[in-house]
Structure 1
Amino acid sequence: MSHFIRNETITASRHNHDQEFPALVLAAGASSRFGRPKAMMALSEGNGQSRTLLDHAIAQGRLLSRDVHVVCGAWYPLVRFRCQAQPSRWVHVADWHKGMAASLSAGIRSLGPYAKGAFVLLADQPLLDHHALAAFGETARCFPDQALAADYGSRPGVPAYLPRWLWPDILALEGDRGAGQLLVGANATRLAIPGVHDDIDTPDDWRRIREEFTRTGLQARQSQG
């Protein structure tokens, strides 16, 4: 399974509808458990090339939509300068320290009037299966009023799709609360996305996931050779 993402996965027929289905990449945290800004850590793509973790997250977002907004807080604007990829919009959250609710609120408020819903991703899940992620995006487009979420077994989680009717409840969240309980209350459809459990919180997580990322990418290149 390769985790190297090619943006052309999005077909031309979807381009005109990107503003109806934008994607938010949440990358506003201080990475306190990690000890340094993990969004700027480099993932090797082979052949001497590398991209930052945030570059890769933006590419994941583009599997869902070409309209990708990156929500930043701590370490901004440094993370922006270090990023090779450029999203549709950078959204700076001045009160990022208040927690996840502030990031979600800022991201939702950055979206236009034509959005039917929004995809939400984190910047620290580089092993998400990109075929499953693309299928997740297509499902949301077919059922735009239905909340969708990755299946974590006992709960729904990110990546998630938040239909517009759910946004007022999201904007009312406070503190370090994400949309998990709202997704439960909305009876969100859960879809399997391999890699959701592989998020990066600590240096040990980073070493393990970086090795897996490199190994799976090497296997993919060898199978294509």
Structure 2
Amino acid sequence: MRTERIAAVLLAAGLSTRFGEEDKLMADLRGKPLAAHTLETVASMAFAELVAVARPIDQAPVLHRKLERRGYTILVNDRPEDGISGSIVRAVEHVMPLRKCRGILICLADMPDVPQSHYNRICLAAEDIRSVVASTDGFSSSPPAFIGRKHFPELLALRGDQGARALLSHGIQIETTGAVLHDIDTPEDLPGWQPATPY
């Protein structure tokens, strides 16, 4: 399916509790904030709609500014403690009335190394509104993933932090390396991370 018929949904509202006090999405990675890598790659493609789910602006002012600059519609998730499902539900409610969108491409802001070519492969594997296409490292299914409009009611019923994992496991699997699908959960996951030296 052509990207012009798909809404890209960037999930960027997590609490990042395992990362510690610092805002994970603003952590420096190769000279720019972690989230900037994903949001810029996705924004450089010709999607029908760019949607980002983020925390309230007072908690993530820099992220909001970067998203606005790249043309995202920002949906606020003021209950990030409800898990990833709450963000997916908000995004689907926004995309549902947009008839031109045949489905959504779910992208995670803490997956900075997914190249444009992988997002493209997922979109191309999606045939119609019934399609579900997930990424896999050969072991488990994960985003980035395409979910067709036919599955929107199922997505609206999601609860908790499992997201759409069950749905993704039954879809087409696009294999790539673990390095591409690597997500940042803790400071140690950042390339070149060094523990602070005690004085």
Q: Shared topology, TM-score over 0.5?
A: yes
> TM-score w.r.t. structure 1 length?
0.73
Match of 2:196 in 1: none
Q: In the TM superposition, what whole-angstrom CA distance separates every residue of 1:72-104 from its partner, at most 9, and x where no partner exists? A: 126334431366842321110122211111011
Amino acid at match of 1:170: L
Partner-residue secondary structure (3-state), 1:175: coil
Given that residues 63 and 133 in structure 1 are in contact (C-alpha distance below 8 angstroms), is that contact kept between their aligned partners in structure 2? Answer: no
Do structure 1's residue 53 and structure 2's residue 34 form an aligned pair? yes
Q: List alignment gaps of at least 5 residues for structure 1.
A: 1-13, 45-49, 210-225
Match of 1:174 in 2: 159
| Residues 126, 54 of structure 1: alpha-carbon distance in 2 compared, 3 angstrom cutoff | same
Deviation at 1:120, TM superposition (A): 0.3
Q: List alignment gaps of at least 5 residues for structure 2.
A: 194-199
Match of 1:117 in 2: 103
In 2, distance between residues paired with 1:169 and 1:33?
29
Of 89, 105, 117, 1:105 maps to 89
Given that residues 64 and 133 in structure 1 are in contact (C-alpha distance below 8 angstroms), is that contact kept between their aligned partners in structure 2? Answer: no
Output the aligned Cα RMSD: 2.5
Match of 1:207 in 2: 191
Identity %: 25
In 1, distance between residues paired with 2:45 and 2:162?
24
Given that residues 95 and 102 in structure 1 are in contact (C-alpha distance below 8 angstroms), is that contact kept between their aligned partners in structure 2? Answer: yes
In 2, distance between residues paired with 1:38 and 1:116?
32
In 2, distance between residues paired with 1:196 and 1:143?
26
Partner-residue secondary structure (3-state), 1:110: helix
| Residues 25, 108 of structure 1: alpha-carbon distance in 2 compared, 3 angstrom cutoff | same
Deviation at 1:153, TM superposition (A): 2.1
Partner-residue secondary structure (3-state), 1:70: strand
Amino acid at match of 2:36: D
Match of 2:43 in 1: 62
Match of 1:95 in 2: 79
In 1, distance between residues paired with 2:41 and 2:175?
16
| Structure with greater helix percent | 1
